[in-house]
Structure 1
Amino acid sequence: MLNNELVLLDVDSKNSEEFLSNISDRLLNLGYVKESFKDAIIKREEEFPTAIGAEEYNLAIPHTNSEHVNKPGIAFVRFSDKCRFKEMCTSNEIDVDMAFVLLVTKKEEQVNLLSKLMGIFSQNEFLKELYNENKNEKIIEILNEKIK
């Protein structure tokens, strides 16, 4: 689910809509998503915000229905400067350091993947390691070790 083309470091986006629009275009060009993905993920983020405030690093896990996805994967994004997202439970705006864009092709797998990610997001040392790593291959290795 993780590969080099899905690891994006030092992405510059001011807010979630700008980010989701840009990442959707990239994922479409790479063949991961359908044209309907962009509108679907932006709409879902508006209705059900995905940002999570963590101990040291805030995260977002934007995703949408599997019908908009061609190939499974997780796009890992680290922002060059923080990106504004609405928080999951409160809808307050928070600054996010990293995003995990979920690309799920089988609807039944989405809850399992979200559960795994939520479990590792409470591990501050893991997040610190991800945030400070600059090699795509090492980021993939770190994530694969935790997600599997």
Structure 2
Amino acid sequence: MSDLITRGMILLDLEANDKNEVIQKLSKVIESQGRLIALEGFLEQVNKREETFPTSIGFNVAIPHGKCDSVRKAALAFARLKNEVKWSEDENAKYVFLIGVSEKEAGNKHLQILAQLSRNIMKEEFRERLEQSESIEEILSILSFDEIA
């Protein structure tokens, strides 16, 4: 997991008015780290997925994702929002993990990331650590391979 997320892909206390703004800000963070070939193509895929089925999974967590050729290198960006935003008809999100993978990595890599995140999100201790962390370094440590494996 450590090659997927860097210090520059973590946003703490992010202010956003809605899920589209969260997705856009996280996508720009991934782009700024050289992980995207085309920001607009990636955003289009992520938004298309959200329209089909919102990616909120409970526990105030959402895991939007895009699988497309606009991704140069697999990436995971994380935002802890200052205030919850409405993510789906009946769920809000405060913790958002944005996954980007290329088409050629879509199968195994995408599913592996989702599985590892999902297992940890089910753990109350993991969610509490995300909430209580005071620095990007702490979040990076929580999301490191050793913590997620």
TM range (shorter): 0.7 to 0.9
In the alignment, structure 2 segments of 5+ residues that lack a partner are none
* Residue 72 of structure 1: aligned partner: 74
* Residue 115 of structure 1: aligned partner: 115
Counting matched residue pairs gives 140
Kindly state the Cα deviation for residue 69 of structure 1 after the two structures are TM-superposed: 1.1
What secondary structure sits across from 2:35 in the alignment? coil
Kindly state the Cα deviation for residue 15 of structure 1 after the two structures are TM-superposed: 1.4
* Residue 147 of structure 2: aligned partner: 146
For residues 27-75 of structure 1, what are the alpha-carbon distances to aligned partners after superposition, in whole Å with 9 as ceiling and x for unaligned?
3333222231111111211112100112xxx100000114221122210
* Residue 84 of structure 2: aligned partner: 82
Kindly state the Cα deviation for residue 139 of structure 1 after the two structures are TM-superposed: 0.9
* Residue 89 of structure 1: aligned partner: none
Q: TM-score, normalised by structure 2?
A: 0.85
1:29 aligns with 2:28: no
Kindly state the Cα deviation for residue 146 of structure 1 after the two structures are TM-superposed: 2.6
Does the Cα contact within 8 Å between 1:62 and 1:100 map onto a contact in 2? yes
1:52 to 54, 57, 61: 57
Structure 1 distance, partners of 2:32, 2:75, is: 15
Does the Cα contact within 8 Å between 2:8 and 2:29 map onto a contact in 1? no
CA RMSD, Structure 1 to Structure 2 (Å) = 1.5
Does the Cα contact within 8 Å between 1:16 and 1:83 map onto a contact in 2? yes
Does the Cα contact within 8 Å between 1:8 and 1:76 map onto a contact in 2? yes
